[in-house]
Amino acid sequence: MSWSELVNIVAKLRSPEGCPWDRAQTHTSLKRFLLEEAYELLEAIDQGDPQAMKDELGDVLLQVLLHAQIAAEQGLFSIDDVIVNLSEKLVRRHPHVFGEVAAETPEEVMVNWDAIKRREKTGEQRRSILDGVPKELPALMRAEKIQKKAAKVGFDWDHTAEVVEKVKEEFQELEEAAATGQQQELEEELGDLLFAMVNLARFLQVDPEFALQKATAKFVERFQLLERYAEEENLDLQELDLAGLNDLWDRAKAYLRRNPHS
């Protein structure tokens, strides 16, 4: 199966003789599928499953091909234009590979990359250095990108300890808001605390989005083991009090610590 054959398959799916579902799709309607496929690929990567990765990469590629086909039908651009544009961008943004610029470390590469991007965006109508961060990004990821953009002009903390103090300050303000019981104030203060936590994650060089995903996955694993214990002992979770649930939780937690790859 060649690349051109794959492109022709997608074009056929979108043709009058093709699939009604594929014909009905638009750039907008496909947005959520692109996100879903990307997250399924991330899950396959986390699981270290090459077969699943191969499958999910294909699903992500399908989304790219569908968007390019819709654009081609509208006379805007084709998948070949996408490939040419990407190829030129990769060469342009890697002068240390394809040119004479020196860059020996990942940090030096990023300095060059950012400088090249700024030159590329010179003609764009951007009123703020914070422009260009998609609002559709997950909240933690978007907060981190916004913070990094602000940091590039020096609007940032100097030391991790200062960020820790800011987190403590925001937590205290959240406690004060909780005492008032005002929902709008609670939401605002919780948002401030989360934003400060993203700052701390950035200073600790921890990806907050992935850190939360891992914490959630750990909770799911422990809770599902808790459920298994309850089933084996004919216990009804709905009827257990908090002490009983905590006992099962502690057993699950201890078991998984002893057997992390079970």
Read off the pLDDT of residues 114-133 as tens digits, 9 standing for 90 and up: 788 777 776 566 678 888 88
The percent of residues above 90 in pLDDT, for the chain, comes to 75
If you average pLDDT over residues 136-146, what whole number do you get? 92
Top mean-pLDDT range of 40-54, 67-81, 97-111, 206-220? 67-81
The percent of residues above 70 in pLDDT, for the chain, comes to 97
Which pLDDT belongs to residue 122? 63
In which region does residue 126 sit, left (phi positive, over 0), alpha (psi from -120 to 50) or beta (all else)?
beta
If you average pLDDT over residues 3-17, what whole number do you get? 96
Question: What's the distance, CA 9 to chain centroid?
Answer: 30
Which pLDDT belongs to residue 131? 87
If you average pLDDT over residues 182-207, what whole number do you get? 96
pLDDT confidence tier of residue 245, bands split at 50, 70 and 90: very high
Which pLDDT belongs to residue 111? 82
Q: To the nearest whole number, what is the mean pLDDT of the chain?
A: 92
Is there a contact between 168 and 142 (Cβ–Cβ < 8 Å)? no
Residue 260 has pLDDT above 90, yes or no: no
Which pLDDT belongs to residue 108? 84
If you average pLDDT over residues 85-104, what whole number do you get? 90
pLDDT confidence tier of residue 100, bands split at 50, 70 and 90: confident
pLDDT confidence tier of residue 101, bands split at 50, 70 and 90: confident
**Total residues found in the chain within this entry:** 262
Instruction: Give dist(CA 231, CA 233) in Å, integer.
Output: 5
> b/e for 10-30, b at 16 or more Cβ within 10 A?
bbebbeeeeeeebeebeeeeb
* H-only helix segments in the chain: 3-14, 20-24, 31-47, 50-73, 79-92, 95-98, 106-120, 139-151, 160-180, 183-203, 208-232, 242-258
